[in-house]
Chain A
Amino acid sequence: MTAVLGETWVLARRELTHWRQQPAGVIVNWLFTVMIALMFGGLFGGAIGEDYFDYLMPGMFALTMFFGVEATMTAVSTDAAKGVTDRFRSLPIHSASVVLGRCLADLMNSAVGLVVLVGAAAALGWRWQEGLGRALAAFGLLLLLRFALLWVGIFLGLVVKGPESVTMVQILVWPVGFLSGVFVDPATMPSWLGTIAQWNPLSATAAASRDLFGNPGLIPDHAMLLAALWPLLLTAIFLPLSVHRHRRLGS
């Protein structure tokens, strides 16, 4: 067990070394969501209403977690394509360490991204209104979503042929991001579209964190429950799929 923890940490630290080696890429990535937030806040804020920025921010936090799928998928498929995964598999380490190292590294990356975005939001006047305890619960839900999406990313990264296929996912995250409660209230969409937007994991986490932060926006029924259940469901599906896929590397 301690061996697994040690190996996990060594592998996660590899990712931290990546940040140091290529700081520009990581920083741009962290600032990207800040830019999106400023852009949408600025573009739509005037048209939608004064408190749009406060509505938008929890959605942006959730979207940042969602964007993580892409990062995980890129890293996993690059390692597989370059033979690095095979090298890890030929080493005397526990196979869980490789996956856990990826988890830890990507969670750290997303946590920093979240801190950067929260910092930027706070500088622009966004606040949590219901106390630190509920705010921490909201951050917990956000990271839980990220954790669940990790397994989606690992699975997709092992399924695709190479890092090139990631481009497709990079394009697809946008419509999924828009088709949610991140930018606007799904209640304002045509009803069939609104239903899809309302019930996806991204919207659930966005709505639940709006509730916990005390930010404006209609909070649909069961938002909190869904924000907890969706990630658990995704993990329950994609964790075994990822493990299965990882095992299949050997068959």
Chain B
Amino acid sequence: MAEPAISADGIRKTYRGAQTPALNGFDLEVPGGMVYGLLGPNGAGKTTAVRILATLMRLDAGRAVVAGHDVSTEAARVRQRIGLVGQYAAVDEILSGRQNLVLFGRLNHLGQARAVSRADELLERFGLAEAGGKPVAKYSGGMRRRLDLAASLIVSPEVLFVDEPTTGLDPQGRQEVWSALRELVAGGTTILLTTQYLEEADQLAHRIAMLWHGRVVSEGTPDELKATIGGDWIDLAFADADQARQALPTVAAHADGEPRTEEHRISVPVRQRTRALIAISTALAADGVEPVEVNLRRPTLDEVFLDLHRKQGDKQEVAA
């Protein structure tokens, strides 16, 4: 098998003055040429992992190899092969889009003429050709992000780190960034994407690792992960709490997990969304208890991680 684009082995990192480690035995193996999603809630250690892999921060223990080079001992070589899109659009707001790209081109050691032509290519590719001469301060959030992406692609990196690319963007900006990322992978770049949105990881990533308290707790394709986390949820709302109590046994009979109730609402995990929805509605109709509202939704990240946490806890208990 080909060498992985990124491999991390038992990375530990504790910030100065912090009680708990940000990364606590972080392992990761990312094959080349795919989008790999690193999914986790705020504070799980996603950004720390990216900063260490992108050579911005030193690790306390463990080893990481990116694009064939060790991040601790060959940082300069790693930097020649990576691109980084951080949480903030790291571009100069006073300069125009084109001036930014030329600046970063020159800092990637392109000659002036080559830097200019590369800047124009990238502006064109990211739909910024028209806005290229305007100062970045006048760009929308989505445009800034695209410029930020363009700036990290000046020398076609082997590995691109993208840290929460759509946090704080409106739906339109999010779509723009997503389609830009999809094009990139088509060009063969390996992308490590961090996100706290399950939907985003699902949309973009070929494989996903879930990060929880500084370590990877689950890894696989989006479908595999969804299977382990119990698939979708159906939320039902009834006219009052009495009706909800009446409906509960019927709903529970068709659920693939423990239902949760709250006053007049019931939420249940289901594996096969459509089939479960039809079965529950038919059964409730037969009982004569009809919900006033039915919602089919993906689990929230909180539910996913609580679920994982519970399973991990179970495992540890079994092991003990």
Contact = CB atoms under 8 A, between A and B. Distances in A.
A49 interface: no
Nearest to B51: A86
B93 interface: yes
Given A91-B79, A251-B57, A83 B107 contact: no
Interface stretch (B80-88, B178-186, B217-225): B80-88
Nearest to A97: B107
A167 interface: no
Contact of B90 (A22, A82, A250): A82
A93 B107 contact: yes
B292 to A, nearest CB: 47
Interface stretch (B96-104, B226-234, B261-269): B96-104
B56 A250 contact: yes
B94 A91 contact: no
Interface in A78-101: 82-84, 86-93
A92 B94 contact: no
A92 B95 contact: no
A222 B236 CA distance: 85
B204 interface: no
A29 to B, nearest CB: 14
A10 interface: yes
B16 A82 contact: no
Given A21-B94, A21-B96, A92 B58 contact: no
B296 interface: no
A83 B87 contact: yes
B92 A92 contact: no
A40 to B, nearest CB: 32
Given A88-B107, A92-B79, A92-B108, A250 B58 contact: yes
Contacts of A7: 107
A91 B107 CA distance: 7
A8 B91 CA distance: 18
Interface string B139-177: 000000000000110000000000000000000000000
Contacts of A22: 94
B84 A87 contact: yes
Given A90-B84, A92-B108, A251-B16, A82 B93 contact: yes
B55 interface: yes
B92 A10 contact: no
A161 interface: no
Given A10-B107, A17-B99, A83-B89, A251 B79 contact: no
Interface of B: 16, 51, 54-58, 76, 79-80, 82-84, 86-96, 99, 103-104, 106-109, 135, 151-152
Please provide the 9 A-B residue pairs with the shortest distance between their CB atoms, ordered closest to farther: A83-B90, A83-B88, A87-B90, A90-B84, A10-B106, A92-B80, A92-B79, A83-B86, A18-B94
